[in-house]
A and B are shown apart, each in its own frame.
Chain A
Amino acid sequence: MYPTNYKYSQEHEWVALEGQTATIGITDYAQHSLGDVVFVELPKAGAKFSAGQTIGTVESVKAVSEIYSPVSIEVTEVNAALANAPEKINQDPHGAAWLVKGRATNPGEMAKLMDAKAYEAFVAEKEKEAGA
């Protein structure tokens, strides 16, 4: 379910690092709890964020949620296709529906995030709490 080459945050974002380039998205668990996504708001290329800052919002029929950057990043590209097809987030959250790409300005932060196995356990715990 969760790609093993990604790292995961407690706020349910994933990040993939290739060289210096980080790609960020939201996890399958996140899209599932949000329900049908109807709108995505993303930053502009060139924007800089430190880890934990809000880089955008995802709106579903149920709620509006902020997206927190799991790592410090200077954004070079945003996924413009999501503006007209927000449903991609529900269909392919770990692939085609990536949100932003950019230069990881502090790659050391990757070590603080969960790997796929730890994230799966984290999500299982959440689901148990919710009684689902």
Chain B
Amino acid sequence: MAQTKSAAARHVSIGERLLFEKSAPGKRGMELPPLDVPAVDAARALGAEYARDGVEGFPEVSEIEVIRHFTRLSTWNYAIDLGMYPLGSCTMKYNPRVNEFVARLEGLATEHPLQPVELSQGCLRILRALELFLLELTGMDAITLQPCAGAQGEYAGIAMIRAYLASRGNPRKRVLVPDSAHGTNPATAVTAGYEVCNIRSDSTGRIDIAHLAESVDENVAALMVTNPNTLGIFERDIARAAELLHARGALLYMDGANMNALAGVARPGDFGVDVMHMNLHKTFSTPHGGGGPGAGPVAVKKHLEPFLPAPVLVEKPDGTLGWDRNRPHSIGRLRAFYGNFGVLVRALAYALAYGPGMVEATCDAVLNANYIRKKLEDVYELPYEQPCMHEVVFSDARQKKHGVNTMDIAKRLIDYGFHPYTTAFPLIVPGALMIEPTESESREELDRFVEAMRAIAAEAAENPEMVKSAPHSARIGRLDEVGAARKPVLRWSPQ
């Protein structure tokens, strides 16, 4: 235990100010050679309104100060390359180095999206290979790689459902969302112009099928469901749910955020899903965090194919690949270019490097989550006691008796050298601890995590103040999150 603590305490000795605060007049990063042509008055050349005398408040620093500043900040980061990152629902798995090697290959890294199609056949072949792989893995019929995040994929999916239903005469009014859903699901439905109606979970944490049955009518456009759901529990009645929806002309949307529990084992297309998105930055090991770049491909069944975002990648009669832009029923274009190409290359590299081994990765992800479940169930409350899939959700009910909540435990975990798990989500579990180890962790690393969590549970009972005031070994102690949200300071200004 002492070891993990000292690891987390690295770099504490170096303070770091903002570049603005390091600035001093006249310092600069480089010296330009003297002009060897006559000087031009910018105001005269461009017009006075386009010229200014300088930028107020722009930091003036030397090159080594800039390098040290950003290098120091980079060492304060916590990353999967430093240790376990059990952030539930985010699938923070290892990003294999082969992905990076392939994405940096000359001929891939240097391609330009406005290059003519004839000169881009290799890149298009990569996109096509990824499309075919994802279709095989999901059991769906057609796909777009265009969306650049899970949320954009969701929006594209629901927009397609709307376009499909409208083409049949009535776009309908409501989208059903289980009470365990990711917050993006209702947000997507509202953005696409639908009302949201919550579906209850039953005592096993699954969709209450009876409540679903009575909620589906001719005004319902779709059910948005994550499978396995955010409790890490497989929706075993998913095929029945699909039947109930289809019987009333509604569609089944699957949020593929938790595809890491299914990849290579079960195919959403086989259990009745009409549209789904995947997060390549989760399941397919592309870089994650820091806001992207993400990739949220959307796969559909045949009946939704005409509505895919344009353009669509197609094989031409002569065997070459090209773009089909003549898509009269398409929901339109989502962004300037077709997906984040470099991210898509990495996902294909991952798929090809693993090959059939992806099944084993999926099984290991489920095994690791269940290992943690069994190793912690005697000290943390399990609101749903059955075996889980790729993630496990505990609650802080036992620690609450000592005044310690899930956020306190998460902060204390930082002292033990781990990234916190996801706190307070899903909302149907009060005080949730949502833990997703992924397949990347060895048993030794899982044991270290379990040991840390058990130590914190003991501290919560014996010395709750220690946990409530954590983190103690991080650079900065407990932040005032409430103050930051109520009175956000979004811009630095000189005092």
Contacts and interface: CB of A to CB of B under 8 A. Distances in A.
B481 interface: yes
Interface string A76-96: 000000000011000000000
A64 interface: yes
Interface residues of A, number: 15
B383 A38 contact: no
Nearest to B482: A36
B427 to A, nearest CB: 6
Interface in B31-75: none
A87 B480 CA distance: 14
B486 A131 contact: no
B430 interface: yes
A132 B430 contact: yes
Contacts of A64: 183
B481 A61 contact: yes
Interface in B401-424: 424
A86 to B, nearest CB: 6
B483 to A, nearest CB: 9
A130 B482 contact: no
A39 B485 CA distance: 8
A132 B183 contact: no
Interface string B377-399: 00001010000000000010100
B10 interface: no
A112 interface: no
A67 B140 CA distance: 38
B395 A131 contact: yes
Interface string A33-56: 101101100000000000000000
Most buried by A among B183, B395, B481, B482: B482
Given A130-B397, A131-B381, A61 B427 contact: no
Interface residues of B, number: 13
Given A61-B481, A62-B424, A64-B183, A130 B430 contact: yes
B283 to A, nearest CB: 26
Interface string A98-132: 00000000000000000000000000000000111
Contact of A33 (B397, B430, B485): B430
Contact of A63 (B383, B424, B482, B485): B424
A9 to B, nearest CB: 15
Contacts of A39: 485-486
Contact of B397 (A36, A63, A87, A132): A132
A37 B472 CA distance: 27
Contacts of A62: 424, 427
Given A64-B183, A130-B397, A131-B397, A87 B486 contact: yes
Given A62-B424, A132-B400, A132-B430, A38 B486 contact: yes
B485 A38 contact: yes
Contacts of B481: 61
A79 to B, nearest CB: 16
Contacts of B395: 130-131
A61 B479 CA distance: 13
Contacts of A35: 424
A115 B418 CA distance: 48
Contacts of B397: 130-132
A96 B485 CA distance: 22
B427 A63 contact: yes
Contacts of B424: 35, 62-63
A36 B395 CA distance: 19
Query: Which interface residue of B395, B400, B430 has the most chain A CB atoms within 10 A?
Result: B430
Nearest to A126: B430
A59 B486 CA distance: 10
A106 B105 CA distance: 69
B236 to A, nearest CB: 23
Contacts of A131: 381, 383, 395, 397
A130 B427 CA distance: 11
B430 A38 contact: no
Q: Pick the most buried of A64, A86, A131: most chain B CB atoms within 10 A of its CB.
A: A131
Interface in A5-41: 33, 35-36, 38-39
Nearest to A90: B482
15 contacts: A33-B430, A36-B485, A38-B482, A38-B486, A39-B485, A39-B486, A61-B481, A61-B482, A63-B424, A130-B397, A131-B381, A131-B383, A131-B397, A132-B400, A132-B430
Given A36-B482, A38-B486, A87-B486, 15 more contacts: A35-B424, A36-B485, A38-B482, A38-B485, A39-B485, A61-B481, A61-B482, A63-B183, A63-B424, A63-B427, A64-B183, A86-B486, A131-B381, A131-B383, A131-B395
Interface of A: 33, 35-36, 38-39, 59, 61-64, 86-87, 130-132
Instruction: List 3 A-B pairs, minimum CB-CB distance, nearest first.
Output: A38-B485, A36-B482, A62-B424
